Amino acid sequence: MTRTVVEAKKLSLTFQTNDGPVHALSNIDLTINQGDFVSFIGPSGCGKTTLLRVIADLEQPTDGSITVNDVSPHEARLNRSYGYVFQAAALYPWRTIAKNVALPLEIMGLSREEQEARISRNLELVNLGGFEKKYPWQLSGGMQQRASIARALAVEPDLLLMDEPFGALDEIVRDHLNEQLLQLWAKTNKTVVFVTHSIPEAVFLSTKIVVLCPRPGRIYDVIESNLPRDRSLDVRETPEFLKIAHRVREGLKAGHSYED
């Protein structure tokens, strides 16, 4: 029996704006199990980032219920049960790479030895060993984002929330990081929730793809991937991959059709 990490029931979130209410999320029912790699995919404005932020307790739902590790997102945040990776690396420019990874550990009040151990372990994990003393601006965009993943992992959460982490990177770097991310996921057996607007990225990475559509933001389709967990970039040429990608594309199209 696999453990449920995130469970949302009839979850809704409405923003009150000057132009009237905006239904960012409407009636979301979702279950994410331990060890899943779940992607949220959809056009901008479909609420995929908002949903991730609700899980992270960065936004408060207006209706329905949600639990993270069987407690409220607020308690889960206080327990530091997730690591969050933003669209931008958001490294502090005045801190070296090692010091940036140390930031959450300092806030948690860990001992110096424990900090050192976690820094080297997690930088090694994202292949950034030897870059401890560099400042963020001395690293490429892809390396900066890897450092920010190491920072999220250093908290040692079993849940990793990633909000379009590779959106700002070029295709080649993105492919490379996607592969590395899969290896990382296989090594650490964490649960990953991944927001993206790239179909190949979502299909390549995920065990479960959640297709969202906008106005109001809602789940259109949930696709369980039958691709092997241990996969390489070549899998993108297989018929199974193309079949899933096709279903995602159809879902995105259908969710959008009423618009024009």
Q: Does 135 bind other proteins (CB under 8 A)?
A: yes
**For residue 113, what are the CA distances in angstroms to 71, 120, 131, 148, 221?**
31, 11, 19, 21, 47
Q: Does 58 bind other proteins (CB under 8 A)?
A: yes
Provide the b/e sequence for 125-134 (b: ≥16 CB within 10 Å).
Answer: bbebeebbee
Rounded to whole angstroms, the Cα distance separating 109 from 111 reads: 7
What does the per-residue mask of binding to other proteins show for 67-86, with x meaning CB under 8 A? Answer: ----------xx-x-xxx-x
Nearer to other proteins, 137 or 258 (CB): 137
Rounded to whole angstroms, the Cα distance separating 76 from 25 reads: 21
Rounded to whole angstroms, the Cα distance separating 207 from 229 reads: 7
Q: Does 155 bind other proteins (CB under 8 A)?
A: yes
Q: Where are the extended beta strands (E) located within the chain?
A: 4-17, 20-33, 37-41, 63-68, 82-85, 159-163, 191-196, 208-213, 218-224
Nearer to other proteins, 168 or 222 (CB): 168
Among 8, 51, 54, 56, binds other proteins (CB under 8 A): 56
Q: Does 96 bind other proteins (CB under 8 A)?
A: yes
Q: How many CB atoms lie within 10 A of CB 111?
A: 9
Q: Does 87 bind other proteins (CB under 8 A)?
A: yes
Task: Write down the least CB distance from residue 194 to other proteins, Å.
Answer: 16
Q: Does 107 bind other proteins (CB under 8 A)?
A: yes
Nearer to other proteins, 105 or 211 (CB): 105
Nearer to other proteins, 47 or 104 (CB): 104
With beta carbons less than 8 A apart as the criterion, state whether 215 and 23 touch.
yes
Among 23, 95, 215, 256, binds other proteins (CB under 8 A): 95
Contact residues for other proteins, defined by CB under 8 A: 56-58, 77-78, 80, 82-84, 86-88, 90, 92-96, 103-104, 106-108, 135, 137, 155
